[in-house]
Amino acid sequence: MNKCMAHRGWSSKAPENTMAAFQLAFQEPRIDSIEMDVQLSNDGVPIIIHDFTLDRTTNGTGFVYQYSYQELARLDAGGGQKIPTLEEVLQASRGKCKLNLEIKTAGGLHPGIERKVVDLIKQYQMEGEVVLTSFDHPVIEKVKYLSTTIRTGLIMSGMPTMLNDQLSRTGATILSMEYPFITKTFADEMLSRGIEIVAWTVNTPEEIEKVMKIHPEIQICTNYPDRMFPFM
């Protein structure tokens, strides 16, 4: 049966990437995991926010990396929620729900983020509850160097080229892809090789049903987990 992954928490019911959205997902047993995004504050604190800028999801402005955590913590991330730290999320989710953490970086942004994230996961002994993914594939290579036990994945936009080389080089065992590019032939091949597939972002009932029919082992990442429940 396809597993449900809540995209940035239950983001259709609460502000994305906030503790309110995560708590809603923790309380729903049909949600298997939560996808969220991690960056660093100016003073090196791993925080949960998607965009490189603050403007869309908070009442702040400018780039995330320009601000200390104390400055970021004073912002409203929607509905009175604040930007959570990764440590707060790990503390709240331990033993309740698996996490899919996307490490958000590009062009050398957030140097050292891999070690900070891995160290926190090890500190809370959650290596088996968290997977780390990224569009930036060298990040995943660094994660594998830092930990042989934390599972990792590559995020792809469109149909990937030289995929086998990338999987081999990075040691990733998860492939997170835009759902329109996932075919039955592709899914069968990857899954038969032990590569898990996450389809994003699958939001309408029609899209959800279509992806579920491709293969029962594809994980469905959605803003609307409740739209998936009737098919489960």
Q: Which residues are catalytic?
A: 7, 50
Cα 14 to chain centroid, rounded? 17
Helix, strand, or coil (residue 102) = strand
| DSSP character at residue 217 | T
By the 8 A CB rule, do 227 and 9 touch?
no
101 — phi, psi (to 5°)? -95, 120
Buried b (16+ CB within 10 A) or exposed e, 100-128: bbbbbbeeeebeebbebbbebbeeeebee
CB atoms within 10 A of CB 94: 14
Buried b (16+ CB within 10 A) or exposed e, 201-231: bbbeeebbeebbebbeebbbbbbbbebbeee
CA gap 81, 197 in Å, rounded: 32
Query: What's the token pair of residue 114?
Result: 């891999």
**Residue 13: C-alpha distances to residues 3, 20, 36, 55, 185 (Å):** 19, 9, 15, 20, 35
